[in-house]
Amino acid sequence: MKRYFEKGIPGWFALTPLLVFLLVYLVSSLVAGDFYKIPIASAFLVAAVYALAICKGKSIEERITIFSQGAGNKNVLLMIWIFVLAGAFAAIAKEIGAIDAAVDVTLKIMPGKWLYAGLFLAACFISMSIGTSVGTIVALVPIAAGIAAQTGGSTPFIVAIIVGGSFFGDNLSFISDTTIAATRSQGCSMADKFKVNFAVVLPAAVAVTVLYIIKGADVVYVPEVEQVKLFMLIPYMLIIVLALLGVNVLLVLLAGIASCAIIGFAFEGLCWTCWLESMGKGIAGMGDLIIVTMLAGGVLEIIRYGGGLDYLISKMTSHIRGKRGAEASIALLVSLANLCTANNTIAIITTGDIARDISQKYNIDPRRSASLLDTFSCLVQGIIPYGAQMLMASGLAAVSAVSILEYLYYPLAMGLCTIMAIVFRLPRRYS
C-alpha cells in the first residue's frame, strides 16, 4: 500500500485524522470543563472532513467512495445490525418488565458487599462460555443499569463492571474470534495459548474481584421481598443458551425479541402497536452509536488507504532489540493496529503474520506471542470509546462511553499484568 510514501508525503501523515479526532475531543472537553458534554460523533465528523481533505490524488467523488467503503464495510455493518437488534431487544425487555425481574433476582442472589464482585464474576463466566464480549454486554448491561437505578449506585461504574468482565472471556475463551485468530496466526493450539494467557491474567482477575468486594462493603441495599416472575427471565436465559450453542448473534437477538413478544402478549397485556413502538424507540436510541460507528469506519478506512497502518508496522519492526523488545513490539504493534481499526480480531489478523516473523526471529514461544496478540488487542478494544463494546454498553445504559472508561479496572489490570510478564519474563516456562 504505502500510498503516502509514493507521493513523497511522510507516512505518519496518514495517521493524523486519528490525532485530529483525539485533539478535537480532548481540547473541546477541556474548554467545556466536561468530558461528557462533547459528543463523540461531532469529533469524528471533524476528523472525517479532515481525512477527506488530506486524501490526495483523488477527486471528491473518489474520496467519498473510499470513505463510504469503510463506513459500509461488512464488519461495520454487522456491528450496526447488532446495535439495531440489541436496542430493540433491550427496549421490549424493559417494556414487559423482564429487566426489572432480572434485577430483582440478581439483588436477591447477590445482596450487599458481594454485588459488585458477583456481577464481575458473572460477566467473566458468561463471556468465557459464549466467547463474545458483545453478547455478554447485550445480556447483562440492561440488568446492570437497572441495578444501579434500584440501589442508587453509579450507572457508569456498574456498567463498567460488566464491560470489564466481558473482556475476560473475549481474551480467554476457546470459541472467541480473537483466540482463534491469534492461535492460527502463530501456529499453536488454543489449549496451549490458554495456559499461558490464563497464568498471566489470573492475578488481574483476582485483584479486581477483591477490589470489587472492598468497594461493595458499603452497599447496604436490602431488596424488597416480592414475588418475582421467574418466567420473565426466559429471554435472558434463551440468549445465553443460544450463544453457548454457537448460534449467530443476530439470530440470538431475534430469538430474544420474539420471546419477549410472546411473554408480553400472553401475560402482560402487551398490544401489537405497543410492541412496535417500543422496538422503534430502542432502535432510535442506538442512532448516535450507528453514526459514530460509520464515521469511525470511514475515517479508519482513509487511514488504511493512505498507508498509515503500513507506516506503523514498518516503524515498529525496524528497531527491535532482544526478546523483551520483540515482545514489546508485538504488543505495541497490535495495540496501534487496534487503535486504527477499532476491531480486535481484525487487528490480530492484520499483524499476525508480522508477529509470527518477529517471534521466529527472536525465538519467542508461539504460545506467548499468541497470548500477547490477544491480550493487548482486548486491552485497547476495551478502552477506546469508539469500539463496538463501549458503544453498545453506553447505548444500552444511556450513559456516555467516556463516563464508563474511568471505571474500567479489569482491562487496565490485564494490561499491567501482561507488561509485567514481558519485563520480568513470566511465566518462566514459556519465556
> Residue 431's pLDDT band (boundaries 50, 70, 90)?
low
Sole residue written with cell 479532515: 50
Cβ atoms of 182 and 348 within 8 Å: the answer is yes
> Residue 1's pLDDT band (boundaries 50, 70, 90)?
very low
Mean pLDDT of 43-57: 91
Query: Residue 5 has what pLDDT?
Result: 41
Distances (CA, A) of 9 to 48, 359, 413: 20, 31, 39
Would you say residue 36 has pLDDT above 80? no
- Pick the range with the lowest mean pLDDT from 166-170, 278-282, 343-347, 374-378: 343-347
Can you give the pTM of this predicted structure? Answer: 0.82
The DSSP annotation for 318-373 comes to SS--HHHHHHHHHHHHHHHHHHHHS-HHHHHHHHHHHHHHHHHHTT--HHHHHHHH
Residue 304 neighbours by CB distance under 10 Å: 19
Distance CA(393)–CA(410), nearest Å, equals: 16
Helix axes 177-186, 190-215, angle to 10 degrees: 140
> Residue 381's pLDDT band (boundaries 50, 70, 90)?
very high
Query: Residue 10 has what pLDDT?
Result: 67
Query: Residue 100 has what pLDDT?
Result: 82
Distances (CA, A) of 61 to 51, 67, 392: 14, 10, 32
| In the chain, % of residues over pLDDT 70 | 94
Distances (CA, A) of 267 to 103, 222, 229, 304, 320: 19, 28, 10, 52, 65
Residue 363, CA atoms < 13 Å, CB-side half-sphere: 2
C-alpha cell at 21: 479526532
C-alpha cell at 405: 472508561
- Residue 262 amino acid letter: I
> Residue 221's pLDDT band (boundaries 50, 70, 90)?
low
Q: What is the DSSP letter of 112?
A: G
Residue 43 neighbours by CB distance under 10 Å: 24
- Residue 298 amino acid letter: G
| In the chain, % of residues over pLDDT 90 | 48
> Residue 424's pLDDT band (boundaries 50, 70, 90)?
very high
- Pick the range with the lowest mean pLDDT from 96-110, 113-127, 204-218: 96-110
> Residue 7's pLDDT band (boundaries 50, 70, 90)?
low
Mean pLDDT of 237-260: 88
> Residue 96's pLDDT band (boundaries 50, 70, 90)?
very high
Mean pLDDT of 227-253: 85
Distance CA(304)–CA(3), nearest Å, equals: 10
**Between the ranges 173-182, 244-253, 407-416, where is the mean pLDDT highest?**
407-416
- Pick the range with the lowest mean pLDDT from 2-16, 106-120, 147-161, 163-177: 2-16
**Between the ranges 134-138, 163-167, 263-267, 291-295, where is the mean pLDDT highest?**
163-167
Would you say residue 429 has pLDDT above 60? yes
- Altogether, the residues listed in the chain come to a count of 431
Mean pLDDT value across the chain: 88
Q: What is the DSSP letter of 38?
A: S
Cβ atoms of 53 and 375 within 8 Å: the answer is no
**Higher-pLDDT residue of 154, 38:** 154
> Residue 188's pLDDT band (boundaries 50, 70, 90)?
very high
Q: Where are the domains of the chain?
A: 73-431
**Higher-pLDDT residue of 42, 105:** 42
Distance CA(120)–CA(205), nearest Å, equals: 9
Query: Residue 3 has what pLDDT?
Result: 53
> Residue 219's pLDDT band (boundaries 50, 70, 90)?
confident
Query: Residue 372 has what pLDDT?
Result: 96
Would you say residue 366 has pLDDT above 90? yes
C-alpha cell at 317: 519492526
Cβ atoms of 409 and 164 within 8 Å: the answer is yes
Would you say residue 68 has pLDDT above 80? yes
Distance CA(152)–CA(135), nearest Å, equals: 26
E strands present in 7-140: none
Query: Residue 6 has what pLDDT?
Result: 47
The 10s digit of each residue's pLDDT in 138-176 is 989 999 999 998 888 899 999 999 999 999 999 998 878
Distances (CA, A) of 199 to 193, 330, 427: 10, 19, 7
Residue 81 neighbours by CB distance under 10 Å: 13
Distance CA(391)–CA(411), nearest Å, equals: 16
C-alpha cell at 146: 437497572
